[in-house]
Amino acid sequence: MSTSSSLADALIVVETAGTFAFALSGLIEAARKRLDAVGVCFVAGLTAFGGGTVRDVLLDRRPFFWVAHAGWLWALLVVCALVMLVLRARHLPPTERAMQAPDAFGLGLFAASGTQIALDASMPSIVAVLMGTVTAAFGGVLRDVVCNEIPRVFNDHRPYAVCAFAGGWVVVVAHVLGWPPPLGLVAGATLAVVLRFLSLIFDWKLPAWRQQ
């Protein structure tokens, strides 16, 4: 198998996993806000596809990643229906804590894939990492805005975009060192996910603006 083929396969796997992780976080948040079925599906899709769409627009990639893999749309609708049925049948409360785990996984996976895609487009390292950060964070921003919340990436004070930024640099370093691309993707995604979970567990805080 050629390097380009293995990278393409790895990107599909990572983007698929990231898409459904973010979709689940959006679904749980929409359920918390007591939206109807259409609202839940809309917020889940916006969370799952928002960051990658912004990345593709900025990189002038066509077709968009969710258009190239249109089956994801049908799968997303099925997942939304099944999860809503499970939540209702088992009376599982859609809490903010339940949303944080899939959100952290989506953050890491999209940070790595977004950075790698930008590197493949011959973007400079800093631009590639920023593309990965946008891919990872913007879906959550759209989710929170639609759900009438100040985006957590801006006011949570616990590292979020910073975790994606760090994971993106791991992908860049792996690319420079000539590691197999799938290994770089896994390493970058893992670091971002671990950092996000550690920030939640130990309640790490970023400096905040203090008024006198």
Whole-number pLDDT of residue 1 = 46
pLDDT at 46 > cutoff 90: yes
Angle between helices 125-146 and 96-120 (to 10 degrees): 150
Tell me the pLDDT tens digit for each residue of 124-165: 999 999 999 999 999 999 999 999 888 888 877 889 999 999
Q: Is 144 left (phi over 0), alpha (psi -120 to 50) or beta?
A: alpha
Higher pLDDT, 2 or 54: 54
Query: What average pLDDT does the structure give for the chain?
Result: 89
- How does DSSP classify residue 183? H
Task: Tell me the per-residue pLDDT of 56-71, one tens digit each, with 9 for 90 and over.
Answer: 999 999 888 888 888 8
Q: Over the range 191-202, which residues count as b (16 or more CB within 10 Å of their CB) and which as e?
A: bbbebbbebbee
pLDDT at 195 over 80: yes
pLDDT at 150: 85
71-83 tens-digit pLDDT: 889 989 998 888 8
DSSP, residue by residue, 1-55: --HHHHHHHHHHHHHHHHHHHHHHHHHHHHHHTT--HHHHHHHHHHHHHHHHHHH
Give the least confident one: 37-41, 84-88, 127-131, 164-168: 84-88
Give the angle 165-134-52 at the CA atoms, nearest 5°: 130
Given a contact cutoff of 8 angstroms between Cβ atoms, the answer to whether 159 and 196 are in contact is: yes
pLDDT band at 211 (very low <50, low <70, confident <90, very high): low
Q: What is the pLDDT averaged over residues 180-205?
A: 93
Cα–Cα distance measured from residue 179 to residue 5, given in angstroms and rounded to the nearest whole number: 15
Give the pLDDT mean for 105-120.
95
User: 21 with 44: CB under 8 angstroms?
Assistant: no
What is the phi/psi pair of residue 5, to 5°?
-70, -45
pTM: 0.90
Tell me the pLDDT band of 120, cut-offs 50, 70 and 90: very high
Greater confidence (158 vs 115) lies with 115
Which residues are CB-contacts of 97 (< 8 A; sequence separation ≥ 6)?
A: none
Taking the domains of the chain in order of start, what are their residue ranges?
A: 3-201
